[in-house]
Amino acid sequence: MSPSLTARRADLSAGIRFDGHAIVSADGMIAAGDGTVPAALRNEADWQQFQAALDTSVLVVLGRIGHRLHVNPGRRRLVLTGGVPALAGDPQDAQALLFNPAGATLGEALAALGLTEGTVAVTGGTRTFDYFLPVLDRFVLAEAQQVALPTGRPCFSAGHPRAVLAAAGLRPGRFDVLDAAAAVTQTVWER
């Protein structure tokens, strides 16, 4: 998938809302360089809120690596991948639709799933967040303030999530301390 491809709001039903979700290190990374999430970046308070958000979403969007690494607990998934020409069912997961934005539009992918309304949870990785940035209505950003991953994988390829979200027109809103002992905070960014 080309990183220059991005979703377009004009192609979508007005009833669809896109919420991004990520926990990042202090330097804006979502994973180690090999794509794994280190234990230091995992936080139970964040995990509980994240799972609750996924439970209320009509669709979870993630990249190919995340789809392979994290077993699907029965939620509908849209998996961004360059491994199919356009759209294809996943032979390993009946709840998942494989989607190559170079061969199909996001509107076509949502239509194939029969979705015209509801909240879509965008959960990463980097190229997935980059693709959905123009259509994000909200981004729930948890930050592990005491964790640094200087050779990790960034949330957004253009820089730290706070700077990227602000440049895309989202504004910081509600701020919470999720876990004071672990220095994990959460800011909800909205358009």
31-49 confidence digits (pLDDT tens): 999 988 999 999 999 999 9
The CATH class given to the 9-185 domain equals alpha beta
Q: Distance between the two ends of the chain, CA-based, in angstroms?
A: 26
- The neighbour count for residue 2, using CB atoms within 10 Å, is 11
pTM over 0.85: yes
Q: Please state, for a pLDDT cut of 70, what percent of the chain lies above it.
A: 98
Considering the chain, what is the average pLDDT of its residues? Answer: 94
Dist CA 127 CA 1 (whole Å): 8
Q: Residue ranges per domain, the chain? A: 9-185
pLDDT at 10: 83
Q: How many CB atoms lie within 10 A of CB 41?
A: 21
Write down the pLDDT at residue 1: 46
Residue (of 20, 36, 33) closest to 69 by Cα position: 36
Sheet (strand 15-25) strand order: 87-90, 93-99, 77-80, 59-63, 117-122, 15-25, 138-144, 184-190, 171-179
pLDDT at 82 over 80: yes
- Give the pLDDT confidence of 87-133 residue by residue, as tens digits: 999 999 999 999 999 999 999 999 999 999 999 999 999 999 999 99
- Give the per-residue pLDDT at 2: 45
- What does the pLDDT average to over 81-87? 96
